[in-house]
Structure 1
Amino acid sequence: MEARTEARRRRASASVIAWAVARFIGIVVITYLGLLAVTFFIGRVVPVDPVLAIVGDRAPASVVAQARKEYGLDLPLYEQFVLYVKNALTGNFGRSVLSTNPVMTDIARVFPATIELATLGTIIGAVLGVPLGVLAAVKRGTIADQIVRVVGLVGYSVPIFWLGLIALLIFYARLGWTEGPGRIGIAYEFTFTPITGFYLLDAILQRDWGAFRDIFSHIILPASLLGYFSLAYISRMTRSFMLNELSQEYIVAARAKGLSETRIIWRHALRNAAVPLVTVIALSYAGLLEGSVLTETVFAWPGLGLYITNSLQNADMNAVLGGTIVIGSVFIGINLLSDVLYRLLDPRTRER
């Protein structure tokens, strides 16, 4: 009897796991198809003819017709979409008009710069934002709380491109504390050899400390601006989560047992608040990856955002749509990963 009960329980558990996996895969497929559908129809409604962008507006009609046939643009719309999805799934976004390289080749070259910038910005935002959020929650209603909230409000309200220009004027042009626009100085541009595409890591691997200092001096200013933007979001959410935890009964019980306030805050309240904070930090990271276009433009940072901007200005729609799909795919992946981590860290969500 007990064996049958155990077998039923295992079958039920396996059924639940299978349903969760199928649901997860279904969400991924539907979300990605939605992303492809949006980018496909954007590419068809913009007032830019991709064929003319490739062959030129003075090309003979026969050349234009041949190009349309070659790229499948003479097919019915639904057939074009099927071909578009097939190409996107294989990483084929065509060739860039500007560089004449395959779009994925260009993206593989520029995307590490964006990842490096967004990663450092997220680290700065999390390292400073979490303690500030905890401080604001613990000192609720005091001047410290008001200062943290104002700092976050400024981070939300002030346009990041304006902050970038001011930062360049002060820390680069006036004080000379950092290097200016770009990713690496001209003194190292032709002597430094990238390995992974992540310049800070490459400089460490090569033990080229002069190049490391130069690269760090270039990245610290734009990364700090992105970090400030991330800090505003993380500190606000940390404060909200901590206020919720500090009002729970287990905090009252911990104080009644005589535990120190420091231990209650950092070992108990923050530990429970850290579960939703994982999602917040992951979403902040994804936001910096997709939202660093203005920062990269201001600082001439050769990342994916600047690549998409230049492509858009030159009607290079293959590059624009390819970059958009890559960023959207990364955003979807990080969202799904944060959801998985949330469920792993919080046992209560596994039963839902």
Structure 2
Amino acid sequence: MASTDTAPPRRRSRLVHNLKRLGATVLALAATFLGLMLITFVIGRVVPIDPVLAVVGERATTAQYEAAREALGLDRPMWEQFVIYVRDALTGDLGTSIRTRTPVAEDIARYFPATLELATIATIFGVLLGIPAGVLAATRPGTWIDQLVRLIGLMGYSMPVFWLGLMGLLLFYGILGWVGGPGRLDAGFEMMFEFDVPRVTGMILIDTALAGKWDIFRNALSHIILPAGVLGYYSMAYISRMTRSFMMNELSQEYITTARVKGMPEWRVIWVHALKNVMVPLITVIALSYANLLEGSVLTETVFAWPGLGLYITTALFSADMPAVLGGTVVVGIVFVALNMFSDILYRLVDPRAR
């Protein structure tokens, strides 16, 4: 009877606790968003580029210059400009690109799927190769397998991404002809994709598979395999290193020794019990690696002429197109925060202790 009476207060206490945690999360996200907006706003005002001149040109009269300055809202106080900037961003208005003359949000919606597709495949490569390599290295410390995994990881950290991409193009495309060249599709297939394939996600592999256009799918796959492999190698180096470190720490725990003493098969000790606990911190590592690929694939996209968000921001920067640069930076920041939040949720689902 007593347990029945105490059940409702316990449920209320749990509900209050969950609401408080939800409120703290919302406040943290709001503070992060405002901080991100403030940083991009300050950058847009500090860089030695006059946005008014970028719009009207250097031959504009004083009257035209002042009219454009007033239209852009640059004649208002800084605090008011910031409030307008945040308000517009919350409604999805990231400004208009000076270079393309279209809303930045529309440009990003067109370019971002290419980066998402590239980074996702690269992360899959990194996870499928990096985790087994790290586990094998941790279970055989000091052996040639361990030394090889560490050497491959060191090379992945040391070699510049743009150099690796250029060498890959020279060897696998220029000499051997095993993969497609720069861009997402050959010219002929690009026309077919524009007119014959409905845009569902903006990612060519998924859209062509849904439409059953397997010839375009194969051509797109031949183009993405090399840049995704270059980024995947970088991701694999990071993931294998962290997996090795986590596994070596986990294999020294007492419960692992107890399992071995009880006669449990070694493969089960390593790949079930130890790896299960390693996956908890490894989720954060994978999420951070994915976020880094989404925001840091600028050089790879430039080398492979990959029409993604990184190439879009770089081209806008060279064209003094600050609305596009700042809009792209805001989107990258939001994606980074979202992935961190998603990894935190997965962390709590996998590890009951975190709940």
Query: What interval of TM-score do these two structures reach, taking the shorter chain for normalisation?
Result: over 0.9
Shift of 1:4: 4.4
Cα distance in 1 for partners of 2:124, 2:333 equals 22
Partner residue of 1:212?
217
TM score, norm. by length of structure 1: 0.97
Structure 1 residues 264-289: Cα deviation after superposition (integer angstroms, max 9, x where no partner): 11111111111211111111111100
Partner residue of 1:110?
111
Partner residue of 1:229?
234
Cα distance in 2 for partners of 1:94, 1:8 equals 51
1:262 and 2:267 aligned: yes
1:37 and 2:38 aligned: yes
Within 5 Å, give how 1:286-297 maps onto structure 2.
286-297=291-302
Partner residue of 1:159?
160
Partner residue of 1:316?
321
Partner residue of 2:71?
70
Cα distance in 1 for partners of 2:178, 2:217 equals 16
User: Runs (4+) of structure 1 moved beyond 4 Å?
Assistant: none
**Which consecutive residues of structure 1, in runs of 5 or more, have no partner in the other structure?**
none
Partner residue of 2:12?
11
Are the structure 2 counterparts of residues 251 and 55 from structure 1 closer, same or farther at C-alpha, using a change threshold of 3 Å? same
Cα distance in 1 for partners of 2:63, 2:346 equals 55
Partner residue of 1:179?
180
Question: How many positions carry a matched residue from both structures?
Answer: 350
* Aligned counterpart in structure 2 of residue 347 of structure 1, from 339, 349, 352: 352
Cα distance in 2 for partners of 1:237, 1:218 equals 30
**127-136 vs 262-271, which moves further:** 262-271
Shift of 1:2: 3.8
Cα distance in 2 for partners of 1:247, 1:114 equals 40
Cα distance in 1 for partners of 2:309, 2:83 equals 26
**Which consecutive residues of structure 2, in runs of 5 or more, have no partner in the other structure?**
none
Shift of 1:3: 4.3
Partner residue of 2:131?
130
Cα distance in 2 for partners of 1:202, 1:19 equals 42
Cα distance in 1 for partners of 2:97, 2:37 equals 19
Cα distance in 1 for partners of 2:27, 2:328 equals 24
Shift of 1:12: 2.1
Partner residue of 1:24?
25
Q: Which amino acid aligns with 2:206?
A: L
Cα distance in 2 for partners of 1:143, 1:120 equals 29
Shift of 1:349: 1.2
Cα distance in 1 for partners of 2:10, 2:216 equals 60
Q: Which amino acid aligns with 1:213?
A: R
Cα distance in 2 for partners of 1:319, 1:346 equals 40
Report the aligned-residue RMSD: 1.1
Q: Which amino acid aligns with 2:348?
A: R
Cα distance in 2 for partners of 1:29, 1:192 equals 40
3-state secondary structure, aligned to 1:125: helix
Shift of 1:15: 2.0
* Aligned counterpart in structure 2 of residue 331 of structure 1, from 332, 336, 339: 336
Cα distance in 2 for partners of 1:299, 1:224 equals 12
Structure 1 residues 155-212: Cα deviation after superposition (integer angstroms, max 9, x where no partner): 1121101111111111111111111111100121111234121101111112222111
Cα distance in 1 for partners of 2:345, 2:214 equals 39
1:305 and 2:310 aligned: yes
3-state secondary structure, aligned to 2:70: helix
TM score, norm. by length of structure 2: 0.96
Structure 1 residues 15-45: Cα deviation after superposition (integer angstroms, max 9, x where no partner): 2111110111111011111110100000000
Q: Which amino acid aligns with 1:266?
A: W
3-state secondary structure, aligned to 2:22: helix
